[in-house]
């Protein structure tokens, strides 16, 4: 619609410019922190030691660390917003540049990109599963449209995350951090494709659908961590 692509940092900057933006951002940080703690609880909750359970523990722990970092970034931007001029692409390039300077940094960057691609494909597979509702432990009375929103949202997120991973792999092979892209850069590259505006709109609606799904899942999801399976 003629606007500009935005990642997390750009969205936070826009939020902080609103009249009650700092209050909303602080509430968001508390929510992210709660979610990180929840992920750590899930990482320690599975009662068995099967390979599948151990894999879920690692995934939940990694997710907890990710959202803990996102909490710190949100709090930092909330109370020091004037010091954040870079966007998600600049942050991705800075992080990739730091990684490439380490011994074996190219391999580490490539491995990280591969994890993002594989994770995106796993999320895609999860969204396409026949028993999607049971896989994310939604109660039987959850409305059917909620499951549809979840499927659509997961597929949209999976494609974008896999794309970001692909750019990181390319940056590793070319030894150039300039090739790395964040969320905004991934959206921008989609827009440059044939019919990119249409594709970007479909993906954007998918992100909105996933947000709506999460609101519904907060009501209808089984929150006993010993029964919950991996929710991507």
CB count within 10 Å of CB 47 equals 6
What pLDDT does residue 6 have?
A: 75
Taking the C-alpha atoms of 78, 79, 80 and 81 in order, what is their torsion angle to the nearest 10 degrees? 30
Give per-residue pLDDT as tens, 174-204: 888 878 888 888 888 888 888 888 898 899 8
Q: Could you tell me the residue ranges of all domains in the chain?
A: 1-85, 86-232
What pLDDT does residue 26 have?
A: 92
| Distance, C-alpha 187 to centroid of its chain | 14
What confidence category does residue 61 fall into, taking pLDDT thresholds of 50, 70 and 90?
confident
**pLDDT: which is higher, 33 or 51:** 33
Please state, rounded to an integer, the average pLDDT across all residues of the chain: 81
- For Cα atoms 165, 93, 97, give the angle at the middle one, nearest 5 degrees: 100
> In a 3-state reduction of DSSP, which class is residue 48?
coil
Task: Spell out the alpha helix ranges (H) of 49-87.
Answer: 51-79
Give per-residue pLDDT as tens, 72-120: 888 888 887 555 556 667 777 777 887 778 788 888 888 888 888 888 8
What's the whole-number mean pLDDT along residues 153-168?
88
What's the rounded Cα separation, in Å, for the pair 227 and 45? 9
What pLDDT does residue 73 have?
A: 85
What's the rounded Cα separation, in Å, for the pair 180 and 176? 8
What's the rounded Cα separation, in Å, for the pair 25 and 43? 27
């Amino acid at each position: 619609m003629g606007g500009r692509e935005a990642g997390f940092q750009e969205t936070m900057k826009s939020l902080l410019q609103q009249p009650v933006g700092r209050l909303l951002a602080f509430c968001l940080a508390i929510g992210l922190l709660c979610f990180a703690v929840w992920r750590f609880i899930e990482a320690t909750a599975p009662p068995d030691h099967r390979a599948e359970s151990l894999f879920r523990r690692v995934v939940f722990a990694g997710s907890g660390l990710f959202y803990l970092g996102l909490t710190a970034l949100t709090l930092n931007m909330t109370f020091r917003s004037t010091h954040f001029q870079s966007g998600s692409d600049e942050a991705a390039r800075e992080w990739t540049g730091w990684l490439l300077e380490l011994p074996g940094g190219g391999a580490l960057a490539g491995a990280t990109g591969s994890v993002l691609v594989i994770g995106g494909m796993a999320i895609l597979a999860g969204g396409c599963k026949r028993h999607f509702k049971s896989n994310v432990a939604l109660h039987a009375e959850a409305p059917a449209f909620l499951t549809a929103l979840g499927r659509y949202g997961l597929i949209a997120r999976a494609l974008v995350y896999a794309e970001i991973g692909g750019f990181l792999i390319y940056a590793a092979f070319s030894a150039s951090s300039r090739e790395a892209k964040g969320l905004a850069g991934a959206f921008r590259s989609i827009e440059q494709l044939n019919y990119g505006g249409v594709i970007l709109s479909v993906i954007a609606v998918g992100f909105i659908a996933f947000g709506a799904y999460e609101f519904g899942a907060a009501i209808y999801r089984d929150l006993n961590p010993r029964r919950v399976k991996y929710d991507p």
